[in-house]
Chain A
């Protein structure tokens, strides 16, 4: 009688995953912590502990990648996720803010204290689970918040929003079908990828041929992880959309917000006396594969990356900067640089993270980019409820490493725009983040 060994699902990493693995390595080399991020959703009503615990267990059962471990193929050296671990429930803790009545035994002084604790992260000892952790906090008689700490190794911001959306779907319908993770493999031989990387390689050499600036000044730094954000009211957000509408149509938003990130950093660099330098602006654009039912992939990083250069005169105002980015984007598309960059990432994902980043930084005076930026659009594709309550707001708090040491991120939820600055305190000071805030208020609201 023969027995067949069970097939262990494997998911090769995407090109973008490969780069994130390198950045996670950089973060761990600096202080032992991984490249984690925090997402907070504020909800009306009461948290239902029993059902949320059920959900944490159910997700892990249904989504094997939540308990997968990152490994590397011995022959081809391509990293992959191996779903062989036990389907342990996602860690979930329940708290209440001191002074708020509730059954939770854990009391915290404020949700910002808990955020700071989670942002500081934990020492990563393996590339296995848990990849997400949940904290549910009763913040008032009729309000609660959920904090999801997630690893960028396995998820990106859009994927996290899709996970929130699926959690809400399961809340309403425990029999709902979960999105299946499509396996995105690329079997092009290394020499083919090398050939296809050429156009992007030339672009990156050009990018590195003149100095660009970052908050870390091209140095590896450690520091306290900080996040600062401002959510605009629906009235302010409507006003911002009118401001942006004077520059271009609503499909330009990716460029507006990347331009805003550059302009806010410009305010800081000018205050440091750094005038006339170029800015290397990375812009991720989502490219999510779908499963057989047409549902977008929840896990792994799925982005086409574009690298732009903005010079001082491109940054005269938000409109000029947005249009400069759009022009460069069109040029990139014509020359298919995003495909070339993806080929380069697929080739380089075989490298140890340190080697990959050493190569990138070697050609760019120690730098990787001037800052990070992402615009994630409407939270959860416009979701308005979460696990039994109406969503009040939702915000992402990414962490990052140095270089570049800072980033500016934009998201929307329920007609409220949020601008978030993430940084290491060794790279940006509090007064500098205030300069950024003044700049975004001036650019977006004309103040």
Chain B
């Protein structure tokens, strides 16, 4: 089963949309304050679908679900449950 921890999510965000995310970026630190925008969110959605085979529904496309590594991990884990 793939690792869906907050730190993995932060690595994914760094890999896909925010390459300059600091190494010590915390699990609850705000991706939007770090520069995540709507385009980046859509790229993340695509990436999550490819990596975890999880389809993100339109109603799940909220700032709250993409705000931090912890929030993103919760979203992916809830979809796995």
Q: Which residues of A contact B (CB under 8 A)?
A: 247-254, 285-287, 304, 322-323, 326, 329-330, 333-334
Contact = CB atoms under 8 A, between A and B. Distances in A.
17 contacts: A247-B58, A248-B57, A249-B60, A249-B61, A249-B65, A250-B62, A252-B58, A252-B61, A253-B38, A285-B38, A286-B37, A322-B58, A323-B58, A329-B42, A330-B42, A330-B45, A330-B46
B65 A287 contact: no
A160 B56 CA distance: 34
Given A252-B58, A323-B58, A333 B65 contact: no
Nearest to A333: B46
Contacts of B65: 249
A254 B41 CA distance: 12
Interface residues of B, number: 17
Given A285-B39, A287-B39, A251 B63 contact: yes
A247 B66 CA distance: 18
Nearest to B58: A248
Interface string B47-70: 000000000011111110110000
Nearest to B49: A330
A251 B46 contact: no
A57 B59 CA distance: 48
Contact of A334 (B46, B61, B66): B46
A249 B59 CA distance: 5
B43 interface: yes
Contacts of A253: 38
Nearest to A251: B61
Instruction: Output the residue of A248, A249, A304, A330 with the most chain B CB within 10 A.
Output: A249
Contact of A333 (B43, B58, B60): B43
